[in-house]
């Protein structure tokens, strides 16, 4: 079974994800990312290989990041330890510091007992599949480790947060003076830097989920639990609420009346803003096939091309990088602004949304009204042969529903990549219609693809 998943290596800390594995993974990474012409040029110039290491505040991150740093240093890599830091901050710091690569220890929105290891190449970009496969191959090989003065050093990256803060503040089209923001930091990696960034930009800030103790990350707070944020916005009479996940690569929001705003709506707001300012490359937005039909309609009405990819921010990134697009993301709140980041950045996204409120003098509800969210019903059909999702009878049923819905709806069938499950998603102008068609299609899938 492959070690790398869709977003690095994840598992139960001290269960499947051990200190030994973290150390070995770091050593294999040092070998693979220390190869190539850039490595030869570096050695010819007498420059040592460097890496930035960061983590989120979950308790297991302490021993796992120490193991990663030890594995890198034992392989001759000089390590800059950034400590607790959002994943997108680490990606930025790799490029800003001119490091050769970086490693983030985080399990994002997962509960505290889990952890993960994400690896970024030079420039702060995620690794392609083939590089991850090479790292896996080197895990079991004997490694020739340096001795004496050739081993790496581990140093504290003392100005890491300041560099990231200056970068964030420099990205804003308008200050946030006079806007009251409730920030939910998910008791995660954003608990230090996000409040400081919003306050430095001029906002009045009220905090929830900003007291990480190593075990409470994502525990009933953050972008996967918006109810507390909505309640806090109403309680404090705030203008807007911003929610991060554990490693702050996501951002969702709530309006002044507590209504959730998802990633599709956020992308719609930012796409129109960038287009108005002449900053939306090729008038194109990149999203995944799971994005709401309302986003397609809203972009079409404004002359913006919406390109779709498979599910996963890495596929959005690949499309953006291949064609030079400036904005992309997912409904879940991964939003990528390529002028300022190489990956989804929840702190950056939150600042940009509130800055747009200030620039236009509008509430978040007014900004979000450019997009109508179509009801979306998802039915998971379990115990079926996911490899036969192309069955002709199933596809005929899909085409029939698509014909009935016309431009007022959408159908999507997705086979799970990990289990015998097919996801049936239907969007329509009203929830009753969407549910009726989704359940009818699910029944066809269950009958035709039964194991």
Last residue of a domain, one of 110, 130, 158: 158
Number of domains forming the structure of the chain: 3
Claim to verify: residue 203 and residue 187 sit in the same structural domain: yes
Alpha-carbon span 21 to 116, nearest angstrom: 11
Claim to verify: residue 154 and residue 169 sit in the same structural domain: no
Q: For residue range 139-186, what is the model confidence (pLDDT) as tens digits?
A: 888 878 999 999 999 999 999 999 999 999 999 999 999 999 999 999
Q: Consult the annotation and say whether 230 binds a ligand.
A: no
Domain with 76, as residue range(s), is 9-158
Claim to verify: residue 348 and residue 287 sit in the same structural domain: yes
Q: Give a yes or no: residue 4 inside a domain.
A: no
Q: How far is CA 311 from the centre of its chain?
A: 12
Beta strand segments in 347-420, E? 376-382, 410-415
Enter the tokens of residue 80: 């800059």
Q: Kindly list the averaged pLDDT for each block of 10 residues, start to end, along the chain of length 451.
A: 84 96 96 70 74 98 98 97 97 96 95 96 92 91 88 96 97 97 97 97 98 96 96 98 96 98 97 97 95 94 95 89 96 95 96 98 98 92 90 94 90 83 91 94 93 83
Alpha-carbon span 427 to 296, nearest angstrom: 12
Claim to verify: residue 102 and residue 203 sit in the same structural domain: no
Alpha-carbon span 247 to 216, nearest angstrom: 13
Give strand pairing partners of 116.
10
Q: Consult the annotation and say whether 159 binds a ligand.
A: no
Give the helix/strand (H/E) hosting 42: helix 37-44
Q: Find the angle CA(370)-CA(225)-CA(249) to the nearest 5 degrees.
A: 70
| Active-site residue flag, 108 | yes
Of 392, 395, 386, which is closest to residue 415 (Cα–Cα)? 386
**Marked catalytic residue, from 108, 194, 230, 326:** 108
Last residue of a domain, one of 322, 343, 368: 368
pLDDT of residue 434: 93
Claim to verify: residue 117 and residue 177 sit in the same structural domain: no
Q: How far is CA 349 from the centre of its chain?
A: 11
Enter the tokens of residue 221: 């707070």
Last residue of a domain, one of 158, 176, 200: 158
pLDDT of residue 419: 77
Q: Consult the annotation and say whether 391 binds a ligand.
A: no
Q: Give a yes or no: residue 243 inside a domain.
A: yes
Residue 321: count of CB within 10 angstroms of its CB: 14
Claim to verify: residue 204 and residue 353 sit in the same structural domain: yes
Claim to verify: residue 151 and residue 169 sit in the same structural domain: no
Q: Give a yes or no: residue 119 inside a domain.
A: yes
Claim to verify: residue 363 and residue 216 sit in the same structural domain: yes
Claim to verify: residue 294 and residue 316 sit in the same structural domain: yes
Q: For residue range 104-124, what is the model confidence (pLDDT) as tens digits?
A: 999 998 999 999 999 999 999
Q: For residue range 238-285, what is the model confidence (pLDDT) as tens digits?
A: 999 999 999 999 999 999 999 999 999 999 999 999 999 999 999 999
The residues, any chain, with a CB within 8 Å of residue 266's CB and separated by 6 or more, are 251, 252, 253, 329, 333, 335, 349, 353
pLDDT of residue 14: 96
């Amino acid at each position: 079974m492959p070690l790398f998943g869709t977003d690095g290596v994840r598992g139960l800390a001290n269960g499947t994800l051990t200190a030994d594995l973290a150390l070995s993974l770091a050593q294999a990474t040092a070998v693979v990312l220390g190869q190539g012409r850039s490595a030869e040029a570096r050695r010819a110039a007498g420059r040592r290989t460097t890496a930035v290491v960061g983590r989120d505040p979950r308790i297991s991150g302490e021993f796992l990041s120490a193991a990663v740093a030890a594995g890198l240093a034992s392989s001759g890599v000089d390590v800059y330890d950034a400590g607790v830091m959002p994943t997108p901050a680490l990606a930025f710091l790799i490029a800003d510091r001119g490091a050769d690569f970086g490693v983030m220890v985080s399990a994002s929105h997962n509960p505290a007992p889990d952890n993960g290891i994400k690896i970024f190449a030079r420039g702060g970009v995620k690794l392609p599949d083939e590089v991850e496969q090479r790292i896996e191959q080197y895990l079991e090989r004997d490694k020739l480790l340096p001795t004496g003065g050739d081993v790496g050093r581990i140093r504290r990256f003392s100005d890491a947060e300041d560099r990231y803060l200056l970068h964030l503040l420099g990205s804003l089209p308008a200050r946030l003076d006079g806007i009251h923001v409730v920030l939910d930091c998910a008791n995660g990696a954003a608990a230090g830097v996000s409040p400081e960034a919003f306050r430095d930009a001029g906002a009045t800030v009220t905090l929830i989920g900003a007291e990480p103790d190593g075990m409470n990350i994502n525990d009933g707070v953050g972008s996967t639990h918006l109810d507390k944020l909505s309640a806090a916005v109403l309680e404090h009479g705030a203008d807007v609420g911003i929610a991060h996940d554990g490693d702050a690569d996501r951002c969702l929001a709530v309006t002044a009346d507590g209504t959730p705003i998802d990633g599709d709506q956020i992308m719609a707001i930012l796409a129109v803003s960038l287009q108005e300012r002449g900053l939306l490359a090729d008038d194109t937005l990149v999203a995944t096939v799971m994005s709401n039909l309302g986003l397609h309609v809203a972009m079409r009405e404004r002359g913006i091309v919406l390109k779709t990819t498979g599910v996963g921010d890495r596929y959005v990134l690949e499309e953006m990088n291949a064609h030079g697009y400036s904005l992309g993301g997912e409904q879940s709140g991964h939003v990528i602004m390529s002028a300022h980041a190489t990956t989804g950045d929840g702190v950056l996204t939150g600042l940009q949304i509130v800055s747009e409120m200030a620039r236009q003098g509008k509430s978040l509800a007014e900004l979000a009204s450019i997009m109508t969210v179509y009801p979306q019903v998802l039915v998971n059909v379990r115990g079926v042969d996911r490899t036969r999702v192309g069955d002709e009878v199933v596809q005929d049923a899909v085409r029939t529903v698509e014909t009935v819905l016309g431009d007022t709806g959408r159908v999507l069938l997705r086979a799970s990549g990990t289990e015998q499950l097919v996801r049936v998603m239907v969007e329509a102008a009203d929830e009753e219609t969407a549910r009726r068609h989704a359940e009818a299609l699910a029944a066809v899938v269950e009958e035709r693809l039964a194991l």
